Amino acid sequence: MSDIYIPGVTSRIDSAKIIEGLMKLEAIPKDRAEARLEQLKLEKNSWLELNGRLVATRTSAKNLYSFNNPFFERTAESSDPKVLIAVATREAIEETRSIQVEQIATADRFLSDTLPKDYKVPAGTYRFTVGEKSVELRYGGGGLQDFVDALTRKGGDLVRARSMPITSDTRALLIEAIPTGSANRLAFGGDAERLALDTGLLERSLSKERVLSPSDPALAAWDPSLGKGGVTALEGILKAAPSSSARLAVSPAIPAKGMTLEYEVRVTRGSAAAAPAGPPPGPSLPDSGSITWGGITIRSAPSEAAVPDWTPPPAPPVVDDPNSLYLLDTSGRESALSAPLDDGAWHKVSIPLDAILSGDIAAFAVRNRDTSRTVEVRGVRLFDPTETGGFRPRNARDTAGDAVVVMDGVEMTRSTNSIDDIIPGVTLTLKSASDDEVELAIEPDRDAVKEAIIELVGNYNRLMVEINVLQRNDEKLISEVTYLSDDEVEAYKKQLGTLSADSSLSSLRSSLQRAMMNPYPVGDGRMALLASLGISTNASRGGGYDASKMRGYLEIDEKALDKALEANFEAARRLFGYDTDGDLIVDAGVGHMLDALLGPYVDTGGIVQLKTGTIDAKAKDQTAMIDTLVRQLAAKESELRREYGALEGALDRMESLSTSIENFGNSASGE
């Protein structure tokens, strides 16, 4: 079907199509410039992404030899995490310690009697004291749960409360101090005291405390075989010399149940008594006299006394007996206390007596059989640890007490279960008491080192993938890398061969491969390779030819890496960074070499910045050229439209003239 021509509407010669064709030819330079601009953008984006890989690889390399490298991280492994756990810092020393947790630090926790569900707490001013700190709650009255909520909000980190549902119709009030330690006893003041008595949190109590003040009149003989002659009391200190004994009476005697014995003790060592080294000097005889006559002096013969032959006495027996302190009950039965350390220092001892005595306590005694130790005791007192200010808890769930740990035979007390001053660089967290010692092994954090090495190898492999893709237009390079996501595969396909003309990347690739394959010094004249850690281009030892293994990618044999970190940890550390000349500056190693190689690329003003800067300049020129070409094309299109418009007008006039002539001829013929 032929085209229909409508004058003034359609073009007789289809000028629009002709103009479109001509403009496509005219736009070729602009299209080429736009394609070049897109290529420049792709190249810049490729350099920027490559820069990210370079920075990641350099960072992971520096992390393996810099000041904060993981080779100096420490872990603390407890043989029984149910008793204690620990966290070690870089300052910790690699060692193993044996620790016994005799007691964990506790806080006061008091429970009331059973209360009705609708129990009302009256309005008042409630004051609670924990150690030297206190909190005051002005309460307007209300239900038990409302009071609990108000006290917990006000108590902050000092005291809190809970409403315990005993049955569906009854409740119990639990009030507890938050700080632990024997110095942080919970006390009630103001209306809190009345509430505590009304609810059964507290009950009035007569003090059972006994303070035993050593004095010569208070000392009594105990062991007849030793006597008390060597025991003295001066300025509140009971001192028992070797081979002596004495007792301090507890008057009146008190039941041991629920009581605690507290004292300070010091043991010093001297020399045991020795036998005489020679015979006694014998009797002392007076001078026999003399006479002088005529300037001549004549002395009498000296007096003489018959002295029997001397037989040396036997040396006194040496007794080594560190046990010297005892408690006596009213029946005379003795219970030995733990042997004090003989390091010459004062040690504070606190002992719950429930496990030692079952009867009434009658005396504190010292029996020093040892022939070289001197025992000194001060500050002896017996007390009920639950008693405070004439009150005692009726239903104590826990009583404030200090943590007690024994390490290297030394007993130490702390007010908290988080202890950071016993082992340098290690914070202990006590979980529970135990009769057994816990082994605490402080070792290098090999897992952190392993993760850092794996991170370096991973970043290095991704960098090599990036360089290979940018250098060659071969999709096999992408298919060989099995860990890429679908989005990464598509992105890499667009970047294939983008920087194939850049020779600096080929040089960088070769340098990186050499850095990972070269041997490095590790001390004592020895050299080592990454392969000694199970890191190589064929760590899996698979058979056959594999093209991907020729690309420079590394593999890790984790079992070999674990074994190397266990057996040759220091050599592994030096392999990544080593100070060969002793100037405290690392100058060799895999990490150091990678850092030196990649620094010129990623540093400010480095190769990547120069490359992207050059691309930006070219892109700017291309953008200016495109703008010029766009303006020229617009002018050309306008010119063509004018010219073809004029042509269309001429054709229309000619058509009109032809029609007029034809009509005139027809009219003449008709006449």
Mean pLDDT over all residues of the chain? 88
Q: What is the pLDDT of residue 646?
A: 84
Are the CB atoms for 456 and 64 separated by under 8 Å?
A: yes
* The token pair that represents 360 in the structure block: 């009434």
CATH of domain 210-270+321-389+397-442: 2.60.120.430
- Better pLDDT: 227 or 100: 100
Burial class of residue 471 in the structure, from the number of CB atoms within 10 Å of its CB (0-12 exposed, 13-18 middle, 19+ buried): buried
Are the CB atoms for 195 and 201 separated by under 8 Å?
A: yes
Q: What is the pLDDT of residue 642?
A: 87
Residue-wise pLDDT tens digits, 611-635: 999 999 999 999 999 999 899 989 9
Q: What is the pLDDT of residue 546?
A: 55
Whether 355 has a pLDDT exceeding 80, the answer reads no
- 3-class DSSP assignment, residue 581: coil
Cα gap 80→84, rounded to integer Å: 7
Give the residue-averaged pLDDT of 522-541: 86
Give φ, ψ of 564 to 5 degrees: -65, -40
Cα gap 38→410, rounded to integer Å: 75
The CA-atom distances, in angstroms, between 563 and each of 195, 302, 449, 566 are: 65, 91, 13, 5
Picking from 91-100, 536-545, 551-560, which range would have the lowest pLDDT averaged per residue? Answer: 536-545
Domain boundaries, the chain: 44-69+447-603, 109-204, 210-270+321-389+397-442
Q: What is the pLDDT of residue 240?
A: 92
Picking from 63-67, 193-197, 640-644, which range would have the lowest pLDDT averaged per residue? Answer: 640-644
Q: What is the pLDDT of residue 257?
A: 87
Q: What is the pLDDT of residue 2?
A: 46
Whether 37 has a pLDDT exceeding 60, the answer reads yes
Give the residue-averaged pLDDT of 291-314: 73
Q: What is the pLDDT of residue 109?
A: 95
- Better pLDDT: 541 or 533: 533
Q: Which of the listed ranges 300-314, 381-395, 546-560, 583-597 does the model predict with the highest average pLDDT?
A: 583-597
Helices (H), 278-426: none
Residue 539 confidence class, pLDDT cut points 50, 70, 90: low
Q: What is the pLDDT of residue 1?
A: 42
Burial class of residue 165 in the structure, from the number of CB atoms within 10 Å of its CB (0-12 exposed, 13-18 middle, 19+ buried): exposed
Name the helix (H) or strand (E) containing 53.
helix 28-62
* The token pair that represents 92 in the structure block: 């910790």
Residue 385 confidence class, pLDDT cut points 50, 70, 90: confident
- Better pLDDT: 318 or 149: 149
- 3-class DSSP assignment, residue 327: strand
The amino acid present at 42, given as its one-letter code, is L
Q: What is the pLDDT of residue 548?
A: 57
Burial class of residue 507 in the structure, from the number of CB atoms within 10 Å of its CB (0-12 exposed, 13-18 middle, 19+ buried): exposed
Q: Which of the listed ranges 399-413, 474-488, 592-606 does the model predict with the highest average pLDDT?
A: 592-606
- Better pLDDT: 167 or 668: 167
Residue 455 confidence class, pLDDT cut points 50, 70, 90: very high
Give the residue-averaged pLDDT of 106-116: 95
Angle between the 590-602 and 503-517 helix axes, to the nearest 10 degrees? 160
Q: What is the pLDDT of residue 574?
A: 96
Residue 337 DSSP code: P
Residue 363 confidence class, pLDDT cut points 50, 70, 90: very high
Q: What is the pLDDT of residue 528?
A: 93
- Give pTM, 2 decimals: 0.69
